[in-house]
Amino acid sequence: MTWKSLVPVLVIAVAACHTARKEDGSPAGTGAAAVLPAGVVPVPVELFVMSQCPYGVEAEEAFIPAVKALGGTITFRLDFIGDDIEGEGLVSMHGDSEVTGNLLQACALQADPVRALDLISCMNRDFTQIPENFAGCADELKLDAAALLKCADGDAGRDLLRASFARAEERGADGSPTLLIAGQPYTGPRTRDGMMRAVCQAFEGTRPSLCAAVPPPPRVPLKVIVDARFQDCDAMAKMGIEQLTALFPGLEAEQIDYGTPEGKVLYLNIKDTEQRFLPAFLFGAEVEQDAGWRQVAPYIVVAGEWRVLSVDAPFDPTAEICDNSVDDDGNGQVDCADDACRERLICRPETPGTLAVFIMSQCPYGVQAINSMREVLGAFGRTLPFQIHYIVEEVEPGEFAALHGPGEVAENIRQLCAIKHYPKQHQYMDFLWCRNADPTSPDWRACAKGAIKASVIERCALGSEGRRLLSESAKLGRALGVNGSPTWLVNNNRVFSGLSPEDIRRGFCGANPGLRGCDKTLTQEVGMPAGGCRAP
């Protein structure tokens, strides 16, 4: 696995309401006209929301004051995210009440773009009551409620909202909120000053005088612990810093190598936490004063004076590195002689002509992989050295979590028990192939046929033996870093992927050319796209 496959874990999840829409539409919308200061070329600003999305409401309440302050220095339009489905009409993620709210607000924006923003702010005070709170807000603002209701109830309103949906689709806005400034997605903090800073940076040529009054972003110190021994650590750190800078414009980031005295002292703050892996991102307490704090707070671990960002980083700087001829953990064992390295691919001895697979018993891709082995074993013979391991997490000794839930844990154990007690010429495969017809069915006993006895499997599965077998699978998968079902292991130290019998043959024979059976061509198409089930 490369660092590029791990980078997404460094992305801060920006809260938004998302929807999927069909591919049909044309641009339309409403805009707010205003007087343009001399010498200033206005910046286009587009905001896309759903009227009952809490994140869209949050953005409106932050950005509407900025829109008013920027006045004629921007061209602003607000559009809505939804769909126009044949046979259903206009639909939105939060239901019919949101569609009605969208209609009323679209009509208000058409009638008076400036006062419509006040109406939206009023309705946002209790967005869960949209559209029922429209009448009270219209009365409070002395708007012509009857005219707006007539628009929303008629073809005019539907045409406006249909066009607004189409514009959102054209601009690729499927998450509420989506803010575009000069055509570019805004990823900064959802604050008045954050938006104003972004707009001021987008001006070409003359900037309006109001930009001078926009306060600079607050200072946010960040120390990132890296390790030169981990090849991809620096690239991952830089990627994380880039993403965090979008959220914290005042970010002051410093990379510190674990190998330095400063790095080792700093690491002591996190060495006993879940975030002891590198790269590690340590904010100063000042981060809590930045508006972006609300977005990262759920992902923060407090470690003394530091606020540590929770990321799924891969490198333990205190562990043995298995190929550098150094006793990294100081236990007197170097590289593959260290217990921590023995199960790593780089340290596993080659055993030619062997094949193993890691699966999840209720993953459709894992099921297909096992089904494909019927043809593979037919080609290579049932004496082929073949093993099956299961992908789970052992959260506590003897307690497991699987991607497809407790039912998969129980099925993994039953299958391991069949493998343990009926290994001769892979007799257990008959039980697995039978179960694969309906792997979630509780009637597993129906597959215990012939020599395979349900009582034997049940005694093993309900006792300590079954959990010990699954624990061994979990430990091996973790040591090898396997989290995708299926993952194939050939000759004990090489991995490959594949679903079809021919995929498996090629992967096996590529490491074992000349073996009997390698000259055959097996079935390539299995009716499933390439892929797999992947554990977090």
Domain boundaries defined on the chain: 14-212, 220-309, 349-534
99 with 92: CB under 8 angstroms?
A: yes
> What is the per-residue pLDDT across 87-96, written as a single tens digit (0 to 9) for each?
889 999 999 9
Q: What tens digit of pLDDT does each residue of 490-522 get?
A: 999 999 999 999 999 999 999 999 898 999 999
Residue 468: strand, helix, or coil = helix
220-309 belongs to which CATH class?
alpha beta
Mean pLDDT of 298-324: 90
Per the DSSP assignment, residues forming a β-bridge with 84 are: 90
Which pLDDT value is given to residue 14?
Answer: 53
Compute the radius of gyration of the chain from its Cα atoms: 30
Instruction: Provide the pairing of β-strand 280-283 with 393-396.
Output: unpaired
Closest CA to 358 of 261, 486, 201: 486
User: Which of 27-41, 53-67, 165-179, 402-416 is least confident?
Assistant: 27-41
Q: What is the pLDDT of residues 436-481, one digit of tens each?
A: 999 999 999 999 999 999 999 999 999 999 999 999 999 999 888 8
Q: Rounded to an integer, what is the distance from CA 79 to the centroid of its chain?
A: 27
pLDDT at 8: 35
400/519 Cα distance (integer angstroms): 41
Report residue 18's pLDDT band, with 50, 70 and 90 as the boundaries: low
Cis peptide before 423 (omega within 30 of 0): no
Cα distance between residue 464 and residue 417, in whole Å: 11
- For 224, phi then psi, to 5°, come to -115, 115
Confidence bin at 5 (pLDDT 50/70/90): very low
- Provide the token pair at 353: 């002509």
Flag whether pLDDT at 176 surpasses 80.
Answer: yes
Quick check: 39 and 206 in contact, CB under 8 A?
A: yes
- Residue 354 is predicted with a pLDDT of 96
pLDDT at 36: 58
- pLDDT at site 11: 43
The CATH class of the 349-534 domain is: alpha beta
Residue 493 corresponds to which tokens in the numbers above? 């130290």
pLDDT of residue 4: 33
| Residues 205 and 41 sit within 8 Å (Cβ to Cβ) | yes
On the question of a common fold for 14-212 and 220-309, the answer reads yes
Q: Please tell me the least confidently modeled range out of 4-8, 50-54, 81-85, 423-427.
A: 4-8
Strand ranges across the sheet with 386-390: 386-390, 355-359, 487-490, 494-496
> Residue 336's pLDDT is what?
87
Nearest to 197 by CA among 62, 48, 49, 30: 62
Percent of the chain with pLDDT over 90: 75
Q: How many Å separate Cα 141 from the centre of its chain?
A: 43
Q: Provide the residue type at 160 as one letter.
A: L
What is the Cα–Cα distance from 514 to 365, expressed in whole angstroms? 29
Percent of the chain whose pLDDT exceeds 70: 93
Neighbours of 318 (CB within 10 A): 12
**What is residue 41's predicted lDDT score, i.e. its pLDDT?**
87
CB 376 within 8 A of CB 356: no
Give yes or no for residue 63 having a pLDDT over 50. Answer: yes
> What's the DSSP call for residue 80?
E
**Average model confidence (pLDDT) across the chain:** 90
Rounded to whole angstroms, the Cα distance separating 199 from 221 reads 24
Backbone torsion region of residue 290, taken as left when φ is above 0, otherwise alpha when ψ lies between -120 and 50, otherwise beta: beta
Examine the pLDDT at 2 and tell me if it is beyond 50: no
Residue 27: per-residue pLDDT: 29
Read off the pTM.
Answer: 0.59
Instruction: Please give the CATH topology (third level) of the domain spanning 14-212.
Output: Glutaredoxin (3.40.30)
Task: Give the pLDDT confidence of 380-438 residue by residue, as tens digits.
Answer: 998 999 999 999 999 999 999 999 999 999 999 999 999 999 999 999 999 999 999 99
How much is the pLDDT for 330? Answer: 84
* Residue that the structure tokens 């406006």 belong to: 160
The span from the CA of 103 to the CA of 314, in Å, is 48
3-state secondary structure 400-416: EECCCCHHHHHHHHHHH
Q: Sign of torsion, CA 84 89 94 96?
A: positive
Looking at residue 32, its pLDDT comes to 41
Determine if the peptide bond prior to 217 is cis (ω within 30°). no
